[in-house]
């Protein structure tokens, strides 16, 4: 599936609005609701708006997925296996460098989970994969392909990792944020690989949802 010029223009415009303005706008308009509900509302608006902009692309990807469901599910399983192997090895290396390290974004999610498990789980497992996959593996990856397949991977993985840590710049040390950045590299790679292997963004959405679901279940045990 390719993106139309209209989808690309609207997509880049929305991506800028989502990551630069949306959080602040919702924070101002919905301040009385509390931080937990504001976070959920942010993910809900992001997922709905992104799915609306890319509805043609998303529906086409769903048809592609259905035509090869068995192969696509095997791809999901294979990508998850690779992800957890790579993530475990990377985690061990980070632990060797800094035994006290914790991911700042994971800590924030854990805080939301304590306040509202259901809303946090829905936002993390269902909503976030929709908006992030359409924007990063759909829009960014396909736009970057003009520079070559390798460049598309580097650009997409870097952008995906950066978006998870930039909100913490100035609040934590550069070394800790760099470690957090590196932790998102395996996910960025396997998500793009899964999408490429099947030609469907639905595949990477499922991989993303599974990764986040396992993280939620693990976090529940820490409550």
pLDDT for 7-65, tens place per residue? 999 999 999 999 999 988 888 888 888 888 898 999 999 999 999 999 999 999 999 99
Give backbone dihedrals phi and psi of 4, rounded to 5 degrees, phi first.
-80, 165
- pLDDT at res. 133: 98
- pLDDT band for position 205 (50/70/90)? very high
Taking the C-alpha atoms of residue 149 and residue 154, their distance in angstroms, rounded to an integer, is 9
- Structural domain tally of the chain? 1
Instruction: Give Cβ neighbours of residue 49 (< 8 Å, ≥ 6 apart).
Output: 14, 18, 131
Judge whether 128 and 108 are in contact, CB under 8 Å.
no
Rounded average pLDDT over 123-142: 97
Q: Which residues contact 131 (CB under 8 A, 6 or more apart)?
A: 18, 43, 46, 47, 49, 50, 51
Distance CA 110, CA 94 (A): 20
Q: In this predicted structure, what is the pLDDT of residue 128?
A: 96
Instruction: Give the pLDDT of residue 79.
Output: 98
Amino acid 220: pLDDT: 79
User: Does residue 86 register a pLDDT over 90?
Assistant: yes
| Residue 1 predicted with pLDDT over 80 | no
Is pLDDT above 90 for 156?
A: yes
Question: Which tens digits make up the pLDDT trace of 97-120?
Answer: 888 888 888 888 888 888 889 999
Identify the domain containing residue 63 by its residue range: 5-220
135 alpha carbon, distance to own chain's centre: 9
Residue of 91, 23, 79 lying closest to 206 (CA atoms): 79
pLDDT at 218: 86
Distances 33 to 8, 70, 122, 123, 127 between C-alpha atoms, Å: 33, 43, 17, 16, 19
Report the first-to-last Cα separation within the chain, whole angstroms: 42
Higher-confidence residue: 222 or 30?
30
Rounded distance between C-alpha atoms, residue 220 and residue 214, angstroms: 10
Alpha helical stretches, state H, the chain: 5-17, 23-29, 35-53, 55-67, 69-97, 104-115, 117-121, 128-132, 141-144, 149-163, 174-183, 185-198, 201-220
Q: What is the DSSP letter of 164?
A: T
């Amino acid at each position: 599936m390719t993106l139309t010029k209209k989808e690309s223009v609207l997509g880049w415009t929305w991506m800028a609005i989502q990551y630069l303005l949306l959080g602040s706008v919702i924070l101002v308009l919905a301040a009385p609701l509390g931080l937990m509900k504001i976070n959920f509302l942010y993910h809900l608006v992001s997922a709905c708006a992104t799915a609306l902009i890319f509805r043609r692309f998303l529906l086409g990807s769903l048809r592609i997925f259905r035509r090869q469901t068995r192969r696509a599910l095997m791809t999901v399983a294979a990508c998850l296996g690779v992800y957890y192997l790579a993530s475990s090895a990377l985690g061990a290396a980070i632990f060797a460098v800094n035994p006290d390290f914790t991911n700042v974004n994971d800590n924030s999610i854990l805080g939301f989970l304590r306040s509202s498990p259901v809303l946090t789980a829905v936002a993390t497992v269902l909503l976030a994969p929709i908006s992030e996959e359409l924007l990063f593996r759909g829009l960014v990856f396909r736009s970057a392909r003009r520079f070559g397949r390798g460049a598309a991977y580097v650009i997409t993985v870097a952008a995906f990792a950066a978006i998870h840590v930039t909100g913490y710049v100035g609040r934590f040390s550069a070394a800790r944020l760099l470690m957090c950045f590196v932790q998102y590299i395996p996910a960025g790679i396997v998500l793009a690989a899964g999408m490429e292997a099947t030609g469907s963004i639905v595949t990477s959405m499922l991989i993303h949802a599974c990764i986040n679901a396992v993280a939620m279940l693990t976090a529940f045990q820490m409550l």
